[in-house]
Each structure stands twice: as structure tokens, then as C-alpha cells.
Structure 1
Amino acid sequence: MQDIAKAGPECLVAIGGSGPELMQLLEMFDCQDIREGFPWMRLVGVVDGTTRPEVSGALALSRVRLFSTVGELLSAHPEVDIVFDLHATPERSRALRGGLPEGVSVVDARAAMVFWEMIMSGKICAPCQSNLHQARAFLTTVLDGMEEDILLLDLEGRIVDCNRNVTTRLGQPKSAFQGRYCHEVEGGSFCRRSRRECPFRETVMTGKKAEAVHTKLDDDGRLLYFRVYTYPLFNELSELINVVEIRRDITSRTYTEQRLQQAQKMAAIGELSTYIAHEIRNPLFAIGGFARSLLRAENLDEEAQGKVKIILEEASRLDGILKSILNYARPSDTKAGEVDVNSVVGETVQLMSIGCDQEGIRIKTNLDSKVARAKGVPELLKQCLINMVKNSMEAMESGKGCITLFTGMEDEYVIVRVEDTGRGMADDVKLKVFNPFFSTKDKGSGLGLAMTKKIVEDVGGRISLSSHEGVGTVVTLFLPPVLAVDGDTLDAEDIPA
């Protein structure tokens, strides 16, 4: 607390008489704020010859000594500085003043009350203000130390205050947000929901806590998840006066949950693939065999042969789908080696350039000549790139657009990026694009990007996708680099225990 003590010697105070102001003065001197605000001032006694019971009791509680005469007071405390005169009659006041030595200040009852009212309105507030500042500093430290966005809203949804995380994350001062509506902070589709689904509106209407999950796109077109909580604030009359809104970024947690769901889905697909291999491929093999036998029969007319060919084609297509499912569900037993990503990208472009030329689509590369070698299998990486380029081709109109393949280093990963200028993806499509069997194409199996994701993750990498409708899509493969100690460089004896 701020030091407001008087510099110099102690000031001793006494009270003469037991007028109606006595109890008030005793209460004031006994107040903790007075003791802390005026530690140099001390009440040493009360001079009162009436010795009324209520006076004796009050002094006992205050631990202040009672003196019958001024002489007794001066004998005990000859250095007394100030005496408050509370006598109701002039005769008693004269007797009090006459018994005091020169140099002792005498203050009458009226002046004493004015004096104390001035003190109570000024100095006594200092400890309260100090405590208030401490409480405010503590609260600010706690709120600014939280990683969540915290907004204080009025009942119209306008921002009254916010914590430091809001200003730091969005790169604007607090004044830029105050007075604006809460839905204007993130903009875009963050609050694109009905009033019934808005947690702020729900809290205003019900006076209870509410929550909801909101999403938004970052600058790279990637989806972010936020869980929004709203809490009511009431005054002493139980009237709703403000709403506190907390926004927590749950993107990482959502991603982890989705990966867990994906793993569970993969386990189910693995069990299903065993059933498929036994129960479907065997009859399918018989269908294909008999269809080929019928096709060799000499007594079939041309129309019948056409129908048998359709059976063979569809059986072959179904067999291809079953192979894709089995390959997707089966753990990879191919040992990862070293991959020259620039070489694989060059081979992929050479292979896909004919199809792009036929569609009038430009395909080009931007390769980093100093990129590290990556862990992986060259043929599997080429399969991933072919799937990605095919998707880009199908996202563009014939005769329009460009596909660019990049290589480089980013965040200690070797990256291979495929960027197109196609129609982009809607938010709901981006949520499902890596799910097996999800496809926006009529004849697609929905395993292209799902297989690509699995191949990349099997070697310790990851895949990211960003897309804006009407602008295009970017898919990036993050592959672990081959280190100088990879392979057989480290023997068991070289590894410290």
C-alpha cells in the first residue's frame, strides 16, 4: 500500500468530555483504514468525570484509558498534542482548557466533526483505492494471461472491453473493437447462423450460460474451429447488465478428434475388406470367368456379345474398386527409402502434360534445386501427385486455368505443393474431402485424396488443403527429410544409453 505516513514524531490525541460525538470519534480511531492511513496519530485517553456506564464500556472495547481529570491525563501523557473538546457546557470547556499547558491544541466538537469528515472523504479513501487498484491489476493479469478471447458485451452485443489476446491475435488496438458488434470481430461466415443458434442471444433471452461451435477461414483458406461460451452478468438487483463472451480456438483438438474418428473408421474398413475379399471377389471371379467363356461361344449373336462385354467391363470396374479398398485398408509393407521429389514431380508433369494439353490447361513447375531428399517411396509419391493433378484438372473448365507444382522446404519438412486456379471448394466439402469414399464426382471412388493422405502419413508426413471458392485450391504434402544419420549410419553402439 502507498505510504502516506506523516514524517516526524508521533502525534498524541485525547478527548475531553462524552458528548454525542464521542462514540463516532472512538469508532473512527478504531477503524483499520484510519490506523493504516494515519499511523503517526494515536488516541491515548478520554477525560470524563461523569464515568457513565456506556462511556466506560465503549472505552473498554476500544482499549482507550479513561481519566477523571486533566491532571491525570497529563501525568500519564505529558506530551499530548491535541485535545478534542466535546463538552456540552461552556463551564466544562473552560475547565478543560484551563488545565491544559500552552502548546496543546484544543479543537471543539463542531470543528472536530468537520475535520474528520474531510479526512474520511480524502485520506481514508487511499487504502480503498489501493485495494481497488490491486484487485483490478490482478483481474487484468488473469484475463490477459488467458489464451482465449474474452469480450465484455452490452445487451445489444456491442463490445465494451476485451482482453489482450483479442488485440494480439487480430493485430489491432482495443479502441478498434470497443463499440463494435461482436459478430464484426471475425467477420465473414463466423456468425452465419440463426438468432436461435447464437449463444449471445440465447444468454440475453434466458439469462443462462450458452455455447456453440463457430468456424471461419484463415487467410490461406483453411478452416478454423472456435467454441464460443457466453455468461450472464447481473447487478445487485439481479438484473442482467452485461454478457461475457469467451472464444476458444479448438482447431487442434478438433483435428485430433477427426484423426481418431479416421483411425476408428480405418479399423472398420480393415475388417470389412477381409469380408469383401472372401465373399465378393470369389463370386466376381466366377462371373468374369463365365462371361469370358460365353464371349467365346460361336452361337452368340452380335447383340448378345455386346451384353456379355458390358458384364465383363462392369465386373472389371468392380474388381478395380475392390482392389482400391483393399489397398487403402491394408497396412503398407513397403519400406520407405529416399525420394528425389524434383525428379518425381518432373515425371508426373511429363505423364500428365498430354491430358492437360488436350483440355487446354497449362501445367508448370517451380522447383527448388536445393531441396532435401524426402523419406518415402517414389512410385507411391508419384501416385499421390497424379491423384492431385487429376483432381485439379477436373476442377477447371476446359481451355482455362493453370496447375503449378512446387517443391521446397518449410518448417523442417520437404514440401510438394499442387496449386490450381479451379473453382475451389465449399466449406462443407473441405470438411469431408479426406474421408474415404467421399466424392463429388459421379464415377469417383472417393479414395484418391484419402489414399494420398494415408501414403503421406505412413512415412511420418502430413497433408494440408486450403481452398477458396472461385479462386482455386492448394494441396501441400509435408514429407520428412532424409537426415545425414538416417539409414545404417548409427549403429547400436553409437547410441548413448
Structure 2
Amino acid sequence: MRTCFSRDDGIGYHIALAGTGEPFALLVDLLARETAGGGEGRVALAAVLSRDVADGLRIRLDELGVAIFPDAVEMFRACPQVNLVFDLCSEVEAEGDMLAGVPVDVPVLGRPSASLLWELLSGVVPVTGRTVRRSHAREMLMTIINGVEEDILLLDAQGRIVDMNAQVCERHARSKDELVGHHCLELEGDGFCRRDEGECPFSQTLRTGRKAEALHTSVDGDGRVFYHRIYTYPVFSPKGRLTHVVEMRRDITDRTHTEQQLQQAQKMAAIGELSTYVAHEIRNPLFAIGGFANSLLRSPGLTESEREKVGIILKESRRLETILRSMLNFARPTDGRSAAVEVNAVVEETVQLMRSGCEHHGVRVEMNLDLGVARARGVPELIKQCLINMVKNSMEAMEGGGTVRLATGMTGRWVEIVVADDGPGIPENIQNQIFNPFFSTKDKGSGLGLAMSRKIVDDLGGRLTLESRPGQGTTVTMHLVPVAAVDASELDERPDPE
């Protein structure tokens, strides 16, 4: 049987709230806090009389030990000490006559009186200095928590949301009442909390009773990866039992991207120096190998089997020479002489070069050019080289055929060239390695194509971005700096590199 507080608890008014009309939630919030505070004030929430309480408030009332009853008869049977009832019933609730059975000696006050009481309680009652200070400290703490940019959630031991800061509601465009009671998994979706390795920090905190943290990644609808650092902290009851977990979610996408760029720059510098050294050291003996292989191949005394083996040596030496040339090109600084580039013309030239090869592989090439796009600062041949690398990667990714789409346009302060395909996409766990030198998912190739493309675009003052989802294709966007009216004539006078 559900019970309430006793008559000898020192509280002057044992209030029951009937119905869920305005200001039901406000009164529950205020009276519940005083009830949880141990009865230092003159009022306490003893019971709730309602047949339709929101899940979030129901969970909160259950935690506070405040019983919910469907009618007054059952409520007064379990809580005879109730000595004040506020009638907040809506028109629908009033038709059910929930208040039938309230003793005649118990005052029943309507909604205007409830509003007045809420104003008094929020500003005057309770009047003891210690409780007022506690209430003020609570308000200050909530102001600080709501001002934090990170998401902060209070979860019960089952992972259900009990409370949250304003940032959570604002980011999800939902009210607190809509989110309270849902499991934390439901907030961002199952993909957010998928753990490829390691234990969920919430579960770890429940198991160990200690702080835990983990890195979570998620992919949005556009195929972009977001990084979140999750921290969980245990909350214990006065008896030392772990009852809740505070979870803080910090979006570290920008910081992670900056760190990756710095690591990439350091790696590129080291690889550039190493590539130059290795290429020069290998080139001389490689030249000798190729020369002697050529001489042997022209020798009339070779058998057919020997001639075939020498041919393999010559072929592989030429392939190695091509790789060394790529390494030297990668290490060489990008030509800094910029011109005003007509990006549409560069795209059309690239498509003209690549169309026959793509069609041979069953890949269709489409263009969607913005005729009003601005000219970009850059080197036409280098931009074309980047596009060839991007189209080639898309073509090779679609072994069964497909479509490559090239588009131009402007977004914000960038001139954009987009290369999109409907291939298999790139797994999330290797997307941050795609632009690494010598990284390749193909059996053939040096893995320098996209790394070189990013280096060229970075040197031109732009940036190269990738969006991909497995099974939904890949989009690589080249962001270039547009030519401003003040420097267009200066750029036009500069000769293009040969």
C-alpha cells in the first residue's frame, strides 16, 4: 500500500496536488525540492492526485517517494495527514470528478490560489535563513550549469534521463519534459553510443563507482564525422549507494581536426625530407640497373626465357622510377605563382581528359557547372592535377560502374569544386587516414594521390574536405580562395607555369 509522511514530521502543511493544469509542474518542482530537503520548511508535497502524469515527472516523484493516486478516496486512505488540496484539474480531468471523497475539513483551493502560492513559495517561503541560502545556492548552481556549453545530463542507474542543462534542450530543440524519462541511448541514436572497443563510460562508472571517460564518434546525414569526449561521474546517496550518474558530452570535433592538421603537417614535412633523401640515394643505382637491363635486352645471345626475365627487370625498374618521381614531386614545394583560374574551364578540361577512361570502366561522368561562379586564386595545371586524382580515385572505387559528378559553385567565402561518386563509400574507421601519404585501400598505387592533392590545395590557401558513408558514396570538395576585385588585374598579368 502506498503511504505518505506521518503527522509528527514537524511540517505545517501536507499539500496534495490534484490534476495537471497550470502551474502543476512549477509547484511540483518547488514543493518536491522542499520535500527532498528533509522538512526544514513549513510545507511539503505529500501526494499527487492525477490519472495522467508525464513520464519525467512520474520518475521524479517516484524517486522522492511522493505517491500518485487516481482518486481522492484512495489518496486519503493512504495519506490521512493531507490537510490542503490544490485543484489544478483541466476540463477533461474535472469531468472525472477525482476530488470526490475529499473530507469536508480539508480546504480545496483553485488554480488562482495555486498560482499565488507558487509566487509566495518562490519568493518568501520558507523563511528560515538556512533554507533561503540553500535555495539561492541552488539557483546559482543551475545558472552556472546552464551557462556551460557542454551537454550535461543527470541519469538514473538505469540510464534514464532525470535532468539536464539548457544546452541539451537547445541543441535538440526539445523541452526538458520531452526529454526526461528517455534512455540516454535515445538522445543521439544507437550509432553515437556504439563502442568498437572499450566499455561504455556510463556502464564503467556504474560498475566501478569512479569517473570514466571515452571518445565517441558519430556520422551525420552528410557523412561528416563528429568527435565527442564523454565524461561520467558517480553520484552517491547519503548512505553511500550509487543512485545517479552525471554525464558530460563535449564536442571536440574542431579541436580534433586542428590536431589532425598539425600532425599531418608535421608528418608531411618529415616525409618530404625523407622522400627527397631516399629518391636521390636510390635513383643512381636504379639508373644503372635500367641501363644494364636495356643492354642485356639488346644482346643477341639471350634465350627467350632469359629475355623475358630481363624484360621484367626493366619493367619493374621503370615502375620504381615512376614512384621515385612521385616522391620527388610530393617533396617539392608547390609553385607559388597564382593566377585567376576559371574553375569551370578546368573542370571541363579534366572531364575531357578522363571521360574515355571512365567510360571504359563503365563509369558515367556528369557536370553541373555554376556559370556565375567567381574565379579562384590558384595554378590551373595543379588544380587540374588534383581533379584528375579525385576522379581517378572515384572511378577505381566503382568496380561495377557508376556515376561521377563534378560541380562548381560558391559557399560563403570559398569557390568550390565538388567531385562526388555513388561508390561503396569509405569506412568510418579509416576516413582520417585517407589523406595520409602512402595510405591506400587499393593493391596498386603509391597512396600519394590524395595526399598530394591536399598539399597542393593547402599551399594555394584553400582546403580539401571529404564526406563519405559506407554504401552511399563519397564526396570530395576542393575549397579555393576567390579572386577579389582589388587583385584580379595583378593576377592576370602573372604567367602560368609551364
CA 397–271 in structure 1, closer or farther in 2 if over 3 Å, else same = closer
C-alpha displacement of 1:130: 4.8
**Deviation at 1:365?**
0.6
Paired letter, 1:378: P
Distance 1:196 1:338, change over 3 A: closer
Residues 337-356 of structure 1 correspond to what in structure 2 (within 5 A)?
337-356=339-358
* Runs (5+) with no aligned partner, structure 2: 1-39, 41-123, 492-498
Amino acid in structure 2 at the alignment position of 1:162: M
Q: Which digits, 9 at most, give the CA deviation of each residue in 1:153-187, with x for residues without a partner?
A: 00111111111211222222223321122122111
Check 1:285–1:194 CA distance in 2 against 1; reply closer, same or farther (3 A cut): closer
Shift of residue 348 of structure 1? 0.8
Give the match's secondary structure for 2:325: helix
Length-normalised TM-score, structure 2: 0.71
Residue identity (%): 58
Q: 2:330 aligns with which of 298, 323, 328?
A: 328
Contact 2:415-2:482 within 8 A present in 1 as well: yes
Distance 1:196 1:433 in 2: 24
Which residue, 107, 131, 134 being the options, matches 2:136? Answer: 134
Query: 1:11-49: per-residue Cα shift (whole Å, max 9, x none)?
Result: xxxxxxxxxxxxxxxxxxxxxx9xxxxxxxxxxxxxxxx
AA aligned to 1:185 is L
| Alpha-carbon contact 1:226-1:251 (below 8 Å) kept | yes
Q: 1:410 to 1:238 in 2, by over 3 A?
A: same
Taking structure 1 as the reference length, the TM-score comes to 0.71
Q: Is the 8 A contact 1:196 1:202 kept in 2?
A: no
Contact 2:276 2:331 in 1 (8 A): no
Q: How does 1:171-250 map to 2 (within 5 A)?
A: 171-193=173-195, 197-250=199-252
Which structure 2 residues correspond to residues 79-90 of structure 1 after superposition, within 5 A? none
Which residue identity does 1:408 align to in structure 2? G
CA positional deviation for 1:435: 0.7
Letter in 2 for 1:416: I
What's the secondary structure of 1:160's corresponding residue?
Answer: strand
Whether the 8 Å contact between 2:279 and 2:327 is mirrored in structure 1 is: no
Matched with 1:477 is 478
Measured after TM superposition, the shift of residue 223 of structure 1 is: 0.7
CA contact (8 A) 2:377 2:481 kept: yes
1:251 lines up with 2:253 in the alignment: yes
Distance 2:179 2:170 in 1: 12
Contact 1:188 1:216 (8 Å CA) reproduced: no
Between the aligned partners of 1:277 and 1:420, the Cα distance in structure 2 is 34
Letter in 2 for 1:363: V
1:434 correspondence with 2:465: no
Distance 2:165 2:197 in 1: 26
Aligned to 2:365: 363
1:265-292 Cα deviation digits (max 9, x unpaired): 1222122123213321111011011111
Distance 1:466 1:123 in 2: 57
Give the stretch that moved more between structures: 305-314 or 144-153: 305-314
Name the residue aligned to 2:105.
none
2:188 counterpart SS class? coil
1:307 Cα deviation after fit: 1.8
Aligned residue for 2:448? 447
Query: Is 1:404–1:419's contact at 8 Å kept on the other side of the alignment?
Result: yes
1:131 deviates by 4.0
Per the TM alignment, residue 135 of structure 1 is displaced from its structure 2 partner at its CA by 2.9
- Structure 1 residues 188 and 455, CA gap change in structure 2 (3 angstroms): farther
**Could you tell me how far apart the structure 1 residues matched to 2:377 and 2:250 are?**
36
**3-state SS in 2 of match to 1:316:** helix
Using CA pairs below 8 Å that are at least 6 residues apart, which structure has the higher relative contact order? 2
Structure 1 residues 112-131: aligned runs within 5 Å? 125=127, 130-131=132-133
Asked if the contact 1:413–1:479 (Cα under 8 Å) also holds between the matched residues in 2, the reply is yes
Q: Which residue of 2 aligns with 1:456?
A: 457
Q: 1:409 and 1:194 mapped to 2: Cα distance? A: 38
